[in-house]
């Protein structure tokens, strides 16, 4: 019996000194590594062109306040070198870009782009109202994350689905963003009405401010800013490339001469064309007034009677 015990002990010592085989290892279910969850690493580059007004600048500051994952950069000098923007976004370690382009110190256009490969959406910004201008009663924590709410109309069209996806990447704050706080206290809403995208920002109220000691009652109070976006074109690449979607009512120049007759048929009209039509209308009023004066003078000449033979000038000549 003793030799058997000695042999068994020697066998166990030999196993302990060497490496254990994979069959001898008891793997617990708790020790299995779970697949890593995909991390949201969206960062947005925010910049503008030269020539923006104070209202446009305040709108950009409001967006920077709402989106803690935004990286603001200096103004772009040239409006014709948009191909440089993907490189600038890459240098700032950003994979999204919000570029505000000002024209004639009046018109504001916004480019929402996924860099470096696209797509990119060009939109016309209208009816801009900043937070300081509105002075709403709502308020939210700076750096908090917001809930994105999209109208169901976005899912009815192909360009709406693409716009919804791009806006989700840009306006959706990642949970692990550097400046983000772990609170959700406001809602960013995007609604489509009259083929325009309406942006609103609301605070989530847990209680009624008129009854602070009453039962919890969730309500929404607008904070600001607010603006309206009109989609113009969607490009396949970043700030260029093949046109994926074009607004069917893009009328410019001579096509807008009779714009007052086409307003019920078109979707987007450039502001410069609208101002041109207004100037033409003013010219038409002036022209009509001058024509009426000429007709009046002609009627006066036709109504003038011939000199009578018994006139004083002829009798006493």
Q: Which of 207, 211, 70, 65 is nearest to 140 (CA)?
A: 65
H or E element in which residue 234 lies: strand 226-237
What is the signed CA dihedral for 203, 204, 206, 211, rounded to 10 degrees?
40
Question: What distances in angstroms separate CA 170 from CA 46, 111, 112, 278, one per listed residue?
Answer: 10, 11, 8, 37
Beta-bridge mates of residue 222: 202
- Extract the tokens encoding 211: 């009854």
Mean pLDDT, consecutive 10-residue stretches, the chain (317 aa), reads: 61 56 49 69 92 93 93 88 91 94 91 92 94 85 92 93 95 89 92 93 84 82 92 92 83 44 55 78 82 88 78 73
| Closest CA relative to residue 252, chosen from 283, 235, 230, 274 | 274
What pLDDT is stored for residue 307 in this prediction? 74
- SS3 string, 107-123, reads EEEEEEEECCCCCEEEE
Tokens 């019920």 belong to 264
Look-up: residue for tokens 């893009």? 250
Task: Kindly give the pairing relationship between strand 226-237 and strand 181-193.
Answer: unpaired
């Amino acid at each position: 019996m003793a030799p058997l015990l000695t042999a068994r002990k020697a066998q166990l010592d030999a196993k302990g000194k060497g490496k254990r085989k994979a069959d001898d290892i008891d793997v617990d279910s708790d020790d299995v590594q779970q697949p890593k969850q995909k991390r949201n690493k969206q960062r947005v580059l925010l910049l503008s062109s030269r020539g923006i007004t104070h209202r446009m600048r305040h709108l950009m500051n409001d967006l920077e306040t709402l989106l803690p994952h935004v990286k603001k950069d200096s103004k772009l000098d040239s409006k014709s070198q948009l191909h440089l923007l993907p490189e600038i976004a890459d240098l700032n370690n950003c994979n999204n870009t919000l570029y505000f382009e000002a024209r004639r110190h009046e018109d504001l256009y916004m480019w929402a782009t996924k860099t470096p490969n696209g797509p990119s959406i060009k939109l016309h910004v209208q009816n801009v109202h900043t937070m300081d201008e509105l002075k709403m009663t709502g308020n939210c924590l700076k750096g908090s994350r917001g809930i994105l709410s999209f109208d169901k109309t976005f899912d009815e069209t192909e360009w709406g689905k693409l716009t919804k996806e791009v806006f989700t990447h840009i306006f959706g704050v990642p949970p692990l963003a550097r400046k983000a706080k772990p609170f959700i206290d406001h809602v960013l809403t995007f609604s489509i009405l009259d083929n325009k995208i309406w942006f609103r920002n609301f605070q989530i109220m847990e209680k009624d401010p008129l009854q602070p000691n009453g039962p919890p009652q969730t309500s929404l109070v607008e904070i600001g800013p607010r603006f309206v976006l009109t989609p113009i074109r969607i490009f396949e690449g970043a700030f260029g490339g093949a046109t994926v979607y074009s607004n069917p009512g893009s009328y410019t120049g001579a096509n807008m001469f009779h714009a007052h007759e086409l307003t019920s048929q078109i979707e987007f009209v450039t502001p410069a064309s609208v101002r041109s039509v207004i100037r033409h209308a003013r010219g038409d009023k002036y022209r009509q007034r001058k024509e009426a004066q000429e007709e009046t003078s002609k009627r006066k000449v036709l109504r003038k009677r011939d000199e009578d033979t018994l006139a004083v000038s002829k009798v006493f000549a």
